[in-house]
Structure 1
Amino acid sequence: MIKNISINTFVNIIFTLAFISIFVTFAMFIRYDKERHDSNLQNRYEMIAENFLILFQDHPTKERLVDLYKKFNIRPIDNRDRILEIINNAQELTITQNYLGTYRVYKYDETFYIYVQQYGYNIMLKDTKYHNYSIAFISAGFILALLIFLILYEILTRKLKPLKILNRQIIEFSKGNKDIKLNYTGNDEIGTIARSFNEAINIINNQSKSKDLFMRNMMHELKTPITKAMFIAETLENEKTRDNLQKAFRRMDDIIKELATVEKLTSKNTMIYKEDVDFLTIFDKTIDLMLINPNNIEKNIENFTFNVDIYMMSIALKNLIDNALKFSTDKKAKIEANNKSIKVASKGEALKNSLDYYTDAFYQEEKRSNGFGLGLYIVKAIVNLHKYKLVYKHKDGYNYFIIDMEK
């Protein structure tokens, strides 16, 4: 699962978990610190009370009492009404009774009082030291930690921002936009990737231009002599020789047309011109392109209208039918068509590999010595341009190549 999330999402998850950890840590620290504070207070008041209870056993003098007042920073409450007010209205925090006597701890108006009782002695003591628990220091620490945390998050986010831009531009390049240039001047790893990617784009563009120029020149130079050769072949008296030469030249002409189609499909400026047309029109144009007798094609066509590039779709259908006739065991093909799919089938063994293996450009299996290896590549490219899907299946001894128009 972690492998499938983006770096930005992963960083956000990590920082979210870190923030929660910081919050929980400080909350637990406050809780334990409050418990420690209360425990220290409890020990303080227990020690004060026991000191007074022990002193009461010896019938203390005023001087000894004053010494204890100074020692523990407390003072006695002499006003009886004030004592009653505290007892009646204060929050009683604890009451403890032992063999020495009894003492209670009260909190009233944010002040702590200790009421010590022993036979013959009762005294209310006010704690003059401030002991209310404050989280101001802890809160300041939490705010400081949170501030540092947010600054680190902002720094990391800014550091990763060029990577997001780089990712978007790479995606644009993968879609065919070869004019991308990554404008990142940093000297870090992202800057190195950006510069390397720019260099790769330049190399690819140069190679692409060289390839395009070579393809156009080659097709232009071959087209003229082939046309002349076909005219010359017409003048031959030997019919068999004439037919064989014309067949060879037509094959060469088909190869050039396939190369031209590949060059167009792989060009970044590939455009298709869709129009509403019925399928029988596409089928008839396909038969014209193939220059064959359609009697070897079994048809089961429910005519329908769809929005396609007529020439491109005719080329795709031509290649599917041509492959079906060429590689079938009985040299026949079947075509089934309706508004959901176009199926071209022929008898034969199932393909040894997946369809993707056969739709690579210039792929050619050894037994397909008569093919040029571009047929299925062209079909898939055209089908994808129309937002359809090319599907293969083998059923009842037949190979089916399907243009699925529902996917």
Structure 2
Amino acid sequence: MIKNISISTFVNIIFTLAFISIFITFAMFINYDKQKHELSLQNRYELIAENFLSSFQNQPTIESLIALYKKFQVMPVEDRDKKLEIIKNAQELTITQNYLGTYRVYKYNDTYYIYVQQYGYNLMLKDSANHNYSMAFIIVGFAISLFTFLFLYEILKRKLRPLNTLNKQIIEFSAGKKDIKLNYTSNDEIGTIARNFNEAINIINNQSKSKDLFMRNMMHELKTPITKAMFIAETLEDDKTRENLQRAFKRMDDIIKELATVEKLTSKNTMIYKEETNFFNIYSKTLEIMMINPENITAKIRDFKFNVDIYMMSIALKNLIDNAIKFSTNKKAIINANKKHIEIISLGEPLKNELSYYTEAFSQEEKRSDGFGLGLYIVKTIVSLHGFKLEYKYEDGKNYFIINMTK
């Protein structure tokens, strides 16, 4: 699962978990610090109470009591009504009774009181020191930690931001935009990738231009002599020689046309021009391109209308029928066509490999060495450009190549 998420998402997850961890850590620390504070207060009031209870046993003087007041920073509450108000309304935190006497600890209006009782001594003491729990330092510490955390997160996001730009430009390049140039000039790893990507783009563009120039020149240079040779072959008197030469030159002309089609389909600027037509129109165009005897084809067609590029779909159908006739045992092909699918059926041995093997350019079995192995590659490309799907199955000694037009 981790392998399938983006780096940005992974960073967000890590920082989210880190933030939750910081929050939980501070919450646990606050809880622990509060408990420690309460224990410290409990120990303080226990010490105060025991000191006063011990002094009560020795019948303390006013001077000794004043000394204890100063020592422990407490003040006696002498107003009887005030005492009753505190006892009635205050929060009683603890009550302790031992051999010295009894003492209680109250909290009232954020002030702590110790009520000490022994043998007729009844003394309520107000804690003059401020012992309210303060979270100021903890809040400051949390704020500093949070600021540092967010600062580091922003730095990392900015550091990774060029990766998103790089990814978008790579996608644009793969979609056919050739004039992309990355302007990331940093010397870090991302800058190195950007520079290498720029170099790769230049190399690919130069190779593409060289290939396009070579293909155009080659096809132009070969087309003229082949046409002249076919014309000269027509003048030969020997029928067998004339037919052999015409067949050879026709094959060379077909190969050039195939290469031209591949060059057009592999170009990122390939456009298909769809128009509504019926299947019989496509089928007639296919027979016209093939220039073969229709007796080799059995057509079972329920005519229908669909939106396609007439020329390209005719090329795809022509290649499927060519393959069916060429590699069948009886040199015949069957066409079943309706608005859902087009099937090209022929007798013969099943394919040795998966269909995807044959739809790669220049892929073919050893026994099928007649050709460059571009037929099914062209068919698959054209079918995909139309949003259709090329499928294959083998049943009852027959090969089925299917153009599935259902979405």
Structure 1 stretch displaced more, 353-362 or 209-218: 353-362
Instruction: Give the secondary structure class of the aligned counterpart of 1:371.
Output: coil
Instruction: Give the secondary structure class of the aligned counterpart of 2:116.
Output: strand
Q: Report the equivalent of 1:59.
A: 59
Q: Report the equivalent of 2:341.
A: 341
Q: Report the equivalent of 1:114.
A: 114
CA distance in 2, matches of 1:59, 1:11: 72
1:74-113 superposed matches below 5 A: 74-113=74-113
- How far the C-alpha of 1:54 sits from its partner, in A, is 2.0
Q: Does 1:182 align with 2:147?
A: no
Q: Report the equivalent of 1:282.
A: 282
Q: Report the equivalent of 1:222.
A: 222
Structure 1 stretch displaced more, 188-197 or 346-355: 346-355
Provide Cα deviations, 1:250-274, integer angstroms capped at 9, x if missing partner: 1110000001101111122211111
Q: Report the equivalent of 1:363.
A: 363
Q: Which amino acid aligns with 2:301?
A: I
Instruction: Give the secondary structure class of the aligned counterpart of 2:369.
Output: coil
Provide TM-score, normalisation by structure 2.
Answer: 0.97
Q: Which amino acid aligns with 2:79?
A: N
Instruction: Give the secondary structure class of the aligned counterpart of 1:235.
Output: coil
CA distance in 2, matches of 1:215, 1:321: 27
Q: Report the equivalent of 2:150.
A: 150
Q: Report the equivalent of 1:318.
A: 318
Structure 1 stretch displaced more, 282-291 or 391-400: 391-400
CA distance in 2, matches of 1:396, 1:6: 48
CA distance in 2, matches of 1:177, 1:356: 27
CA distance in 2, matches of 1:382, 1:198: 31
Provide Cα deviations, 1:264-307, integer angstroms capped at 9, x if missing partner: 11122211111111011101111111111122222221111111
- How far the C-alpha of 1:329 sits from its partner, in A, is 2.3
- How far the C-alpha of 1:402 sits from its partner, in A, is 1.6
Provide TM-score, normalisation by structure 1.
Answer: 0.97
Q: Report the equivalent of 1:128.
A: 128
Instruction: Give the secondary structure class of the aligned counterpart of 1:367.
Output: helix
Q: Does 1:159 align with 2:163?
A: no
Q: Which amino acid aligns with 2:96?
A: T
- How far the C-alpha of 1:188 sits from its partner, in A, is 1.1
Provide Cα deviations, 1:369-396, integer angstroms capped at 9, x if missing partner: 1121111111111112112222222233
Q: Which amino acid aligns with 1:48?
A: I
Q: Report the equivalent of 1:171.
A: 171
Q: Which amino acid aligns with 1:322?
A: D
Q: Which amino acid aligns with 1:233?
A: A
Provide Cα deviations, 1:61-108, integer angstroms capped at 9, x if missing partner: 223222222221112112222211211121111111222221111111
Q: Report the equivalent of 1:381.
A: 381
Give the alignment's Cα RMSD to 1 decimal: 1.3
Q: Report the equivalent of 2:295.
A: 295
CA distance in 2, matches of 1:99, 1:382: 102
CA distance in 2, matches of 1:403, 1:183: 45
CA distance in 2, matches of 1:100, 1:393: 101
Instruction: Give the secondary structure class of the aligned counterpart of 2:351.
Output: coil
CA distance in 1, matches of 2:400, 2:164: 43
Measured at CA, do residues 91 and 291 of structure 1 come closer, stay the same or move farther in structure 2, by a change above 3 Å?
A: same
CA distance in 1, matches of 2:392, 2:34: 72
CA distance in 1, matches of 2:45, 2:99: 17
Q: Which amino acid aligns with 1:5?
A: I
CA distance in 2, matches of 1:364, 1:337: 27
CA distance in 2, matches of 1:22, 1:348: 70
Q: Report the equivalent of 1:244.
A: 244
Q: Does 1:23 align with 2:19?
A: no
Q: Which amino acid aligns with 2:156?
A: L
Q: Which amino acid aligns with 2:23?
A: F
- How far the C-alpha of 1:331 sits from its partner, in A, is 1.8
Instruction: Give the secondary structure class of the aligned counterpart of 2:368.
Output: coil
Q: Which amino acid aligns with 1:339?
A: K
CA distance in 2, matches of 1:223, 1:114: 113
Instruction: Give the secondary structure class of the aligned counterpart of 1:50.
Output: helix
Structure 1 stretch displaced more, 281-290 or 393-402: 393-402
CA distance in 2, matches of 1:162, 1:155: 12
CA distance in 2, matches of 1:187, 1:268: 33
Q: Which amino acid aligns with 2:240?
A: K
Structure 1 stretch displaced more, 342-351 or 210-219: 342-351
Structure 2 regions of 5+ residues with no counterpart?
A: none
CA distance in 2, matches of 1:392, 1:45: 90
CA distance in 2, matches of 1:391, 1:147: 59
Instruction: Give the secondary structure class of the aligned counterpart of 2:124.
Output: strand
CA distance in 1, matches of 2:320, 2:178: 31
CA distance in 2, matches of 1:366, 1:66: 114
CA distance in 1, matches of 2:126, 2:111: 8
- How far the C-alpha of 1:399 sits from its partner, in A, is 2.1
Q: Report the equivalent of 1:235.
A: 235
CA distance in 2, matches of 1:272, 1:232: 37
Structure 1 stretch displaced more, 147-156 or 256-265: 147-156
Any runs of at least 4 consecutive aligned residues in structure 1 with deviations exceeding 4 A, and if so which?
none
CA distance in 2, matches of 1:66, 1:348: 118
Q: Does 1:194 align with 2:185?
A: no
Structure 1 regions of 5+ residues with no counterpart?
A: none
- How far the C-alpha of 1:49 sits from its partner, in A, is 1.1
CA distance in 1, matches of 2:119, 2:167: 85
Q: Which amino acid aligns with 1:294?
A: P
Instruction: Give the secondary structure class of the aligned counterpart of 1:219.
Output: helix
